[in-house]
Copies of this chain bind each other. A is one copy, B any other.
Amino acid sequence: MEALKKKILNEGEAIGTQIVKVDGFVNHQIDVRFMSEMGKEFKRRFGDIKVDKILTVESSGIAIACLTAPFFGYPQVVFAKKTSPNTLIEGSYSAEAKSFTKGTVSLVRVSKKFIEKGDRVLIIDDFLAHGEASLAMTDIIKQAGARVTGIGIVIEKLFQGGGEKLRGAGYRVESLVSISKISDGIITFSE
């Protein structure tokens, strides 16, 4: 998505070799109009797949998930909650997700009420790095007896391997932009 590459280059910030900061329009301040364009682009990429639910994870996935829903005919959006790994919550599916940036492990959980057997679930998230959050969501969807119809990502960092894991496991991953390298303040896109 060319407009997103431009916006990242103009407004984003490369930090070290691992981080691209987009807090000006994605995950602290949100450019709702632009995010709606991203939602429309997910629809274009995924075409006519059927979606009963959109699943994301708090907090930074919520905006893009909600702004994608209208283009898929307003499926319900569910956001997985992050809790400490020793919190057992009845009536929930849960899976562990490591955060490489923060050096922590959290438990990602979804109430059993909100994903049903047979549901066709589209996962939407802002970043795909090591794939921990997406993998935790696929795990939860499997626990529910539901099906992952696709994984839509705003920014994939190819060099952190999450996409490889997910595609290797047979999931269809669509990333609006893919970054192959971050170095000396320069962001290199893969295509």
Contacts and interface: CB of A to CB of B under 8 A. Distances in A.
A114 B21 CA distance: 14
Interface string A21-53: 001100011111101100000000000000000
Interface residues of A, number: 29
Interface stretch (A59-67, A133-141, A144-152, A154-162): A59-67
Interface in A49-107: 58-59, 62-63, 65-67, 69-70, 74, 76-79, 81
A103 to B, nearest CB: 15
- Copies per complex? 2
Nearest to A35: B66
Contacts of A58: 58-59
B23 A111 contact: yes
Contacts of A6: none
B32 A70 contact: yes
Given A59-B59, A62-B59, A76 B113 contact: no
A28 B67 contact: no
Given A30-B66, A33-B70, A66-B67, 8 more contacts: A24-B114, A28-B110, A29-B111, A30-B78, A32-B66, A62-B62, A63-B66, A63-B77
The 10 closest A-B pairs by CB, nearest first: A58-B59, A32-B69, A30-B77, A59-B59, A33-B74, A62-B62, A29-B114, A29-B78, A63-B66, A32-B66
Interface of A: 23-24, 28-33, 35-36, 58-59, 62-63, 65-67, 69-70, 74, 76-79, 81, 110-111, 113-114
